[in-house]
Every structure is written in C-alpha cells, then in structure tokens.
Amino acid sequence: MSSQITPRGSDPQVFGREEGPLRAFCEVLGAKRVGSYWSLTFVAPAIAERARPGQFVTLAVDVGGATLRRPFSIASVSQQGPWAGTIEIVFSGVGQGTHWLAQRGKHDVLDLVGPLGRGFPLPNRQVPALLVGGGYGAAPMLYLARTLGARGHRVDVVLGARTAEQIYNTIEAKRAAASATFTTDDGSLGTQGIVTDVLDGVAEHGRSEVVYGCGPMPMLAGVARWAADRGLPSQVAVEEAMACGTGVCMTCVVPVRRKGQRRNVRACVEGPVLNGARVDWDAVRSPAMAQHELDEETG
C-alpha cells in the first residue's frame, strides 16, 4: 500500500498522496471583483502543481446549517512567484455559501479539496481549438486557452452571458486567444443572442477542429449538438449538484451513452469534462435544464 504523504514534507496543512486530490488549508492571497463575479486566489502550491484545466476544487463554507462543500472550477494556476503556487476560483453570488465566500479576504484560511475530477483532454496534434464559455464558465475556458496557447495551438474564444457585466474578463479573453467573440442576451456587448448563433462564423474563420465548452447545461447541450452536427469532437465540463465531489455519494450523475447503452456516470470523477457527443442531453435533468425548459414553456 502506498504510504500516506504530506506534500512539501513538513506542511501539516496538506493531506493526501503523491497523486490525486488533496485536502489543504489554504490562505487567501487576494480577493477581488471582476465584473459581476468574485475572484479568490489561494496559496495552494500542492494543488497548483497537479491541477489541469477543467478540474475543480470544493470549499467548506461556514454558513449556518450548511454541511456540504461548494464546488468551483479552477480558473487559473500559477506555479511561480514568492508563494510557490496559487490557484484562483471565479464565482457568482447565488446563495448563502457563495455570498459567504464573497466576504472572504486576504489572510483568511479556507478548507479546500482538490484538484478533483477529469480535466480537458488536450489534443496530441496542434489543431485549432474553439473554446466556448458561458457566464462564470468563461474563467476555466481562459485557463484552457492559455494552456493550449502555450502548446502552440490556435485558440478562438466565444463567451456568452445575459449582460455585458456577466461576460468574464474581455481583456484577458482577447489576450489569450487569436479571436474573442462575445454574445449577450440583451445585446449590451458583442452580438445580441446566444453563443450558438455565432459559432459557425468563428469556427470557419479559425478553421476549428476541436470544440471545448464550460457553462450552463443548456448551453453545453447546444454547443455539443452544434459540434456533432458538423462532425467536430467536443469536450464539455458539466455541472450537476454534488454532495461529496469525491465519487462516493452518486448524486452528481449525468446520463452518457456508451456502446449503445445509457449509463449514469459520476460528474465528479468521470467528469466534469465529458465527451459532448456521448452525453444524453435529452435525459439530463439538472435544475438548470429544468429551469431552461420552464423558461421555454412560459417564455
């Protein structure tokens, strides 16, 4: 049996093994607002070292009555600098846990588990990639854009949201990609509409051969179907309610077709990144999907 290790030898704040997820008590290095989102950067050298785009961390939140961790995609990683390694999360305030997190500041210490899940597989050839991010899903997409860019890929980015202030970090998007296209529901930035409205034009211009997505489930369904229709492979990071994040509770399942059979796979360990063509989108019943259907019924 592999023995228990604490990465960085004497650090009593980190628990886990030589690979896989760690539990770590991490100090906040910086907290800031970005548009309508919050960003928290943690001193987390051991997690930063093993993190890949598409993976996530879970944070314990200290709010009355809450017993479960909150999952967030890793938005950026830095392995340099005086703190040896940091990770960033970007989130919107939607409920009591995220509002509590929004009030954290420099030097607070939080209880993190990660990196969790399967990240985005990187192409082994230098093919042009199309990256689609919705809402806060833009943040991990830009992490992927930087990773692919560093490996010499052409990257085209499409970011969509309801309004301009919910488009995460337009400056960074333009810096990280050969082209950055924005869509908003209300037309306050870029094209009025949804991301799938502009994909044909962007993909043609960038000669995209692979598609990546992260964002609300209805958007991912649209992107995956669009890619499948054009014979392009897609990899999307899904979001389901997660109780444990580590693979033991079976709450986070997504229906996936494999070898002609439908299986419920755990988004937290077999995902969150899944092959978009394999997900049985019609059978996905996440709250976001249900809300989307309700909007369509009533709207």
Partner 1 sequence: MAISRPSPPPARTAAAPSGAATTPAEPAADLRVDLGGVTLANPIVTASGTFGSGREINQFFDVNRLGAVVVKSITRHPRPGLPTPRMVETSGGMLNAIGLQNGGIDAWLAEDLPWLRQHGVPAIVSIAGNTVEDYQVLAQRLRGVEGILAVEANISCPNVEDRGTVFACRTEATREAIRVVTANLSVPVFAKLTPDVTDITAIAASAREAGATGVSLINTLLGMAIDAETGRPRLGGVTGGLSGPAIKPVAVRAIHQVHQALPDIPIIGMGGVSTVTDVVELIRAGATAVAVGTATFGNPMASLEVLEALPDWLAARGIDRVADLRGTVQLPG
Ligand X SMILES: Cc1cc2nc3c(=O)[nH]c(=O)nc-3n(C[C@H](O)[C@H](O)[C@H](O)COP(=O)(O)OP(=O)(O)OC[C@H]3O[C@@H](n4cnc5c(N)ncnc54)[C@H](O)[C@@H]3O)c2cc1C
Binding site for ligand X (CB under 6 A): 56, 68, 70-73, 89-92, 94-98, 136, 139, 239-242, 272
**294 class by beta-carbon count within 10 Å (0-12 exposed, 13-18 middle, 19+ buried):** exposed
Binding pattern to ligand FES, positions 264-283, x when CB under 6 A? --x-x---------------
Binding site for partner 1 (CB under 8 A): 1, 3-4, 6, 12-13, 15-17, 20-21, 23, 25, 60-62, 64-69, 104-105, 107-111, 113, 240-241, 243-254, 262-264, 269, 283-287, 290-291, 294
Binding pattern to ligand FES, positions 205-244, x when CB under 6 A? -------------------------------------xxx
Name the nearest CA neighbour of 189 among 35, 292, 75: 35
The residues pairing with 70 across neighbouring beta strands, listed in sequence order, are 59
Burial 96-134 (b: 16+ CB within 10 A, else e): ebbebbeebeeeeebebbbbbbbbbebbeeeebbbbbbb
Instruction: Give the sign of the dihedral formed by CA 25, CA 26, CA 27, CA 28.
Output: negative
Name the nearest CA neighbour of 114 among 88, 93, 92: 88
Question: Of these partners, ligand X, ligand FES, partner 1, none, which one is at the site of residue 272 (CB under 5 to 8 Å by kind)?
Answer: ligand X
Name the nearest CA neighbour of 112 among 25, 29, 28: 25
Phi and psi (nearest 5°) for 226? -60, -45
The residues pairing with 72 across neighbouring beta strands, listed in sequence order, are 57
Smallest distance from ligand FES to CB 239, Å: 11
Smallest distance from ligand X to CB 84, Å: 23
Question: Of these partners, ligand X, ligand FES, partner 1, none, which one is at the site of residue 124 (CB under 5 to 8 Å by kind)?
Answer: none
Question: Of these partners, ligand X, ligand FES, partner 1, none, which one is at the site of residue 104 (CB under 5 to 8 Å by kind)?
Answer: partner 1
Nearer to ligand X, 90 or 202 (CB): 90
Instruction: List residues binding ligand FES (CB under 6 A).
Output: 242-245, 247-252, 266, 268
